[in-house]
Amino acid sequence: MMKKGVFLFALALALTFALGGCRRSAPPAAVEAAPPSPQAVAAAFQKGGCGACHIIPGIPTAIGTIGPDLSRMGEAATTILTAKSYTGKAKTVAAFVRESILEPDVFLSTQCPGGICPKGLMTPALAKSLSDQELNGIVRYLASLPGKSLTAPAQAVTTTVMTAPTLSDAEFASIKQIFFDRCAGCHGTLRKGATGPALTPDKTQPKGTAALAAIIFHGTPRGMPDWGKQGVLTQAQAETMARFLQNEPPVPPEMSLAQMKETWKVFAAPDKRPVAPQHTRDWEDFFAVTLRDAGQVAIIDGDTFEVLNKVDTGYAVHISRMSATGRYVYVIGRDGRATIIDLWLAKPDKVAEVKTCYDARSIESSKYKGPEGDFSDKYAIIGCYWPPHFVILDGLTLEPFKIVSTRSYTYDTEEYHPEPRVAAIVASHFKPEWIVNVKETGQVWLVNYTDPKAPSIKMLEAERFLHDGGWDATRRYFLVAANQANKVAVIDAQESKLIALVETPKTPHPGRGANWVDPQYGPVWSTAHLGEGALVAIGTDPAGHPGQAWKVVRTIPLPGGGSLFVKSHPNSPWIWVDHSLNSDEKIQRTICVVEKADPTKTARCWEVADYGRAVHFEYNREGTQVWVSVWGRADQPGKTGEIVIYDDESLKEVARVPNLVTPTGKFNVYNTVKDLY
């Protein structure tokens, strides 16, 4: 079956820009008798940008996979017209094709990646840029598929448009920053692609401005956010971004140790800090909560739910991690600014900060205490996206002292990569080692910090593109998502080797995952997925359950894809899962629980709020309450976001911490120190 919904979504936008005014109504208009030339039809497809989202036979650049493959459009239309589920007005195949272009939401195809095409994915505005003749040519051609094919002309069209559109200096400067803030995380600063596809000019120019702008504005079912619909980008900005993407990417500057040190500030030297907590609160049950768009981390008391302080940090803090003792919270901003917060102060506050990169996602502390030394709270490590390197710092002051570049060669093809970004980092409990995941080269580096000025590094070959992951319950095995490969790589931290690559559904995204004991298969670790509504359980007990180890032993269906995080706790009967990036407004704020005792299905799913997206979970120390973020919008008073706290036994709401600005990740001190999830 074919999509009505998406096909010309690219096309639609084109027209928005061109002929904003003139509207056509959908069906009747008969296809004119004289068929347009193949050249004209190919040019019309190109003008509408249809190939950005669809595969269209005869159009070499039409290889998009955001919407349905249109190779059998006419045949599919015939089937749909006779189906009871079709409620549109079309009576003929041509009328159906025409309706699907002009009123794409009348019938939603089931053939988008991940299932039914979301409403609004293809905008009727695209068709406005086409003349009647062009539209009719497209309709006639699609209605004839399969069986016909445009030949040579499409090639000619392609070569004529392969030039980059221009931008003014002001446009370039502002859109470059927006790209860095919003897009570089998935596509790479040099746009070579990772979680999102490559956006180099050879890929973007054939799509053209209209189609690119449509994707940027409306998003895709594969996880590209709908920046326009979210109100983050205007139509004009989407169009400027589309032009920017067709030009060569600018290369940002490097950063030296001297430059890092210029940003280094110590607000309270270690010898000026308290030797015991200055309050009587249970600081091991504090939560560090990212207030994303406020550039702050809130420290919230897990017993009383009081917000003890909102500490100014880097922009859009990505994660917080605890020192081995739990006294310090290490925080990393997307802008590469790291902050250390002392929880023993009467009012928990930052004691040092430094910027070691322009773009970063990970930070970790040294956790090893054993025969090789006590490294508790001694060092910190920051993983950077740009420049592509990691930095080792003093654990108490954040003084940076060692930079290690991750630029190297892809694990499989041994090709040089200029931007291998550092994704998740975890600290081993068995050895004085950090496990550093290098996204683009697909390598896992085991970095020994016994002599951190001269760290020894073992480079394991794993898979691309490494993203996020966590320990199994014994903390011997580290499981990390290679999200583009639809795999989870398993590292044995004790033996220092890769032991498995587990096939998963589309685009695994575990956060740190969830550990639990399956009634049938024993100890398992779970991840959900961005690309598919599925929660899987992977066996993690090679000694006790060798037949199940490093295999997906269970796949539990979810209401939809777009999941970012799962969570559990040894004391909990549940596994919790979100759907934050689902394109459906209701599903994106729906969370589900799966019962460990009956893990064949979700036990309950519900909407957490009537606005925003539900994202990320964290337990209190005892594992009796679960905190869920409602991720609102910083510019919508009353709906900026909040945290909802549930009783983990009854699943009843216990409290809300209201009026927080876009809360995302929440990190309980005790659980983060112990890696309980």
Q: Active-site residues: which are they?
A: 183, 186-187, 224, 467, 509
Does position 316 interact with ligand DHE (CB under 6 A)? The reply is yes
d(CA 348, CA 278): 9
Report the alpha-carbon angle 546-550-556, nearest 5.
110
178 forms part of the interface with ligand DHE (CB under 6 A): no
State which of residues 318, 367, 579, 621 lies at the interface with ligand DHE (CB under 6 A): 318
Decide: is 341 part of the binding site for ligand DHE (CB under 6 A).
no
Please work out the total of residues on this chain that contact ligand DHE, with binding judged by CB under 6 A: 21
Q: C-alpha 531: how far from its chain's center?
A: 10
**CB closer to ligand DHE, 29 vs 404:** 404
When binding is defined by CB under 6 A, the residue of 361, 431, 545, 589 that contacts ligand DHE is: 361
Q: Which of residues 190-219 bind ligand DHE (CB under 6 A)?
A: 195
189 binds ligand DHE (CB under 6 A): no
Question: Taking the complex as a whole, how short is the minimal distance between the CB of residue 483 and ligand DHE, in angstroms?
Answer: 9
Q: Encoding tokens for residue 459?
A: 């480079």
Q: Which of 51, 70, 72 is nearest to 62 (CA)?
A: 51
186 forms part of the interface with ligand DHE (CB under 6 A): yes
Please name which of 660, 623, 583, 462 lies closest in space to residue 219, comparing C-alpha atoms. 583
- Shortest distance, position 81 Cβ to ligand DHE, whole Å: 41
Scanning 142-150, 169-177, 422-430, 498-506 for contacts with ligand DHE by CB under 6 A, the matching segment is 422-430
For ligand DHE, the closer of residues 47 and 467 by Cβ is: 467
Name the one range near ligand DHE by CB under 6 A: 31-39, 229-237, 313-321, 345-353: 313-321
- Contact between 468 and ligand DHE by CB under 6 A: the answer reads yes
Does residue 188 belong to the site contacting ligand DHE (CB under 6 A)? no
Each residue 505-534 as x (binds ligand DHE by CB under 6 A) or -, in order, gives: ------xx----------------------
Q: What dihedral angle (degrees, nearest 10) is formed by the CA atoms of 157, 159, 163, 165?
A: 10
User: Maximum Cα–Cα distance for the chain, whole Å?
Assistant: 88
List, edge to edge, every strand of the sheet that includes 598-607. Answer: 566-567, 574-577, 590-595, 598-607
Q: 80 vs 427, which CB is nearer to ligand DHE?
A: 427
- In the sheet that holds 307-312, the strands lie side by side as 307-312, 296-301, 286-291, 663-668
- CB of 44 closer than 8 Å to CB of 130: yes
Nearer to ligand DHE, 246 or 664 (CB): 664
Cβ 464 to ligand DHE shortest distance, Å? 14
Name the segment binding ligand DHE (CB under 6 A); options: 134-142, 420-428, 457-465, 553-561.
420-428
Q: What is the DSSP string of 587-654?
A: GGGEEEEEETTEEEEEEEEEES-SSSEEEEEEE-TTS-EEEEEEE--TTSTT-SEEEEEEETTT--EE
* Nearest CB to ligand DHE, comparing residues 162 and 457: 457
Of 665, 671, 675, 676, the one binding ligand DHE by CB under 6 A:
665
Q: Which is nearer to ligand DHE, 17 or 617 (CB)?
A: 617
Give the number of C-alpha atoms closer than 13 A to the C-alpha of residue 584, restricted to the C-beta side: 16
Instruction: Determine if residue 177 is left, alpha or beta; phi over 0 gives left, psi from -120 to 50 gives alpha, anything else beta.
Output: alpha
Pairing assessment for the beta strands 379-386 and 389-394 based on DSSP bridges? antiparallel
Work out which of 100, 356, 362, 640 binds ligand DHE, going by CB under 6 A.
362
Give CA–CA dist 425/476, Å, rounded. Answer: 15
Q: Using alpha carbons only, how large is the chain's radius of gyration in Å?
A: 26
Tokens 């970063």, located at residue? 360
CB of 563 to ligand DHE, least distance (A): 11
Nearest distance from residue 581's CB to ligand DHE, in Å?
8
In degrees and rounded to multiples of 5, residue 216 shows phi and psi of -65, -40
Q: How far is CA 380 from CA 304, 359, 396, in A?
A: 30, 17, 8
* Least distance (Å) between residue 666 CB and ligand DHE: 8
Site residues for ligand DHE, window 442-461 (CB under 6 A)?
none
Q: Give the DSSP letter string of 380-445.
A: EEEEEEESSEEEEEETTT--EEEEEE--EE-TTT--EES---EEEEEE-SSSSEEEEEETTTTEEE
Contact residue for ligand DHE among 423, 444, 480, 594 (CB under 6 A): 423
Q: Does 313 participate in binding ligand DHE (rule CB under 6 A)? A: no
State yes or no: residue 424 binds ligand DHE (CB under 6 A). Answer: yes
Integer Cα distance of 510 and 520 in angstroms:
22
Q: Does 616 bind ligand DHE (CB under 6 A)?
A: yes
Minimum CB–partner distance for residue 432 and ligand DHE (Å): 18
CB of 513 to ligand DHE, least distance (A): 9
Under a CB-based contact definition with an 8 Å cutoff, are residues 489 and 447 in contact? no
Q: Does 589 bind ligand DHE (CB under 6 A)?
A: no
Residue of minimal CB distance from ligand DHE? 185
Is residue 155 classed as helix, strand or coil in its secondary structure? helix
| Residues 6+ positions from 72 with CB-CB distance below 8 Å | 2, 145, 146
Residues 200 and 250: beta-carbon distance below 8 Å: no
For position 388 contacting ligand DHE by CB under 6 A, the verdict is no
557-576: which residues touch ligand DHE (CB under 6 A)? 564
Which lies closer to ligand DHE via its Cβ, residue 8 or residue 446? Answer: 446
- Continuous segment of H or E residues that includes residue 536: strand 534-539
Nearest Cα residue to 674 out of 426, 488, 373: 426
Q: Is 634 in the site for ligand DHE (CB under 6 A)?
A: no
Nearer to ligand DHE, 43 or 291 (CB): 291
**Of 143 and 615, which CB lies nearer to ligand DHE in the complex structure?**
615
Residue closer to ligand DHE, measured from CB, 125 or 184: 184
Q: Which is nearer to ligand DHE, 61 or 195 (CB)?
A: 195
CB of 154 to ligand DHE, least distance (A): 34
Binding positions for ligand DHE, rule: CB under 6 A: 185-186, 195, 292, 316, 318-319, 361-362, 423-425, 467-468, 511-512, 564, 615-616, 664-665
